[in-house]
Structure 1
């Protein structure tokens, strides 16, 4: 993998930035460029619909599920969320069902006040539960996180009291960028994988 041993600086962009879609799509396309030709893209959207702040992942998953795309496999939607209770089983299922998966991990996170509303894309896994001091397995070869609220104090309460409007806006941007970057990567690198 190109990123092994390297510290790739994650790209962090406010979801309100005028060119946010092109910035995130270009970075995702670049990060997807390390896949081997026999890899299959798998998108894992982590979170739960029982907490407004933590629903970013499942909302992104539900948006992506509307594409019904043959270009990637999808885990984690509002209907069937991937969360703390089933994350281990989901990762085992991916490893057993998909040969050489290249995983994009998507999750909400908490951060500094100035970063709320930013979307971050980088190499390496997302670490679900880190914001609320839970030990969960890392997810992804690359990751996307949406900073939905301020961290550092009463994290569960903060996640419960996150504005749904912000989560929805960020989810729209993330879903669009994920789909565009996957389609761009598959078209340029693996045209035989595209349907007629």
Structure 2
């Protein structure tokens, strides 16, 4: 789980936060993801790392996203973190070592759950730079991602472990569905644009 969403934030232009109930959420997320992919990936291998555990309702957002993305069987990206093979506090460092030993200068998208203010619960964020998993529950874990996507699943600031265990699964699943759908559509559009550019070149 990432740090609380009411921590000091990145500059406004580098971060997007939008409620999952917003009718424009899909187009907004896809547009922002395309911006980051177009600006940062180039020829770098694209890696998605979905962080969390299926043993906690609030912290299973990452593995749910990973499981949804795995169903596409896509060669556009490399995926780590599903319900069957989660990436969590105990194996995150080893996973990152594997990624950096396997791929040359990978472009990493980190996915994780997040706690935040009451008014932000149910929102999805896309931010430049790495996420800091475990910070919300006082764990020292390595930062992950050139960019990161987080779903704010519950209220932070007090008894975080208890809060995560008592988070509504229905909300987590709605957020994970939106993130997986928008991320795949953005990667597909980015890949298609690259193919067209290569043909024109």
Verify same fold: TM over 0.5: yes
Q: TM-score, normalised by structure 2?
A: 0.90
What's 2:4 paired with?
none
Equivalent position of 1:56 in the other structure: 61
Greater displacement, 7-16 / 93-102? 7-16
For structure 1, the 5+ residue unaligned runs are 1-5
Q: CA RMSD in A?
A: 1.5
Task: Select 2:165's aligned residue among 160, 166, 183.
Answer: 160
Q: Any idea what SS the aligned residue of 2:167 has?
A: coil
Find the counterpart in structure 1 of residue 95 from structure 2: 90
Distance 2:196 2:61 in 1: 31
Residue deviations 1:14-41, cap 9 Å, x none? 1111111110010001011122532011
The 5 A counterparts of 1:41-190 are: 41-190=46-195
Distance 1:131 1:29, change over 3 A: same
* Aligned-partner Cα distance in 1 for 2:193–2:101: 28
Which deviations, in whole Å up to 9, do the C-alpha atoms of 1:35-78 show, x marking residues without a partner? 25320110000000000000000000000000000100000000
Match of 1:26 in 2: 31
What stretches of structure 2 of length at least 5 have no aligned partner? 1-9
Q: CA deviation at 1:190?
A: 4.3
TM-score scaled by length of structure 1: 0.92
Q: State the alpha-carbon separation in 2 of the partners of residues 76 and 149 from structure 1.
A: 21
Q: Which residue of 1 aligns with 2:44?
A: 39
Structure 2 counterpart SS, 1:62: helix
Contact 1:38 1:100 in 2 (8 A): no
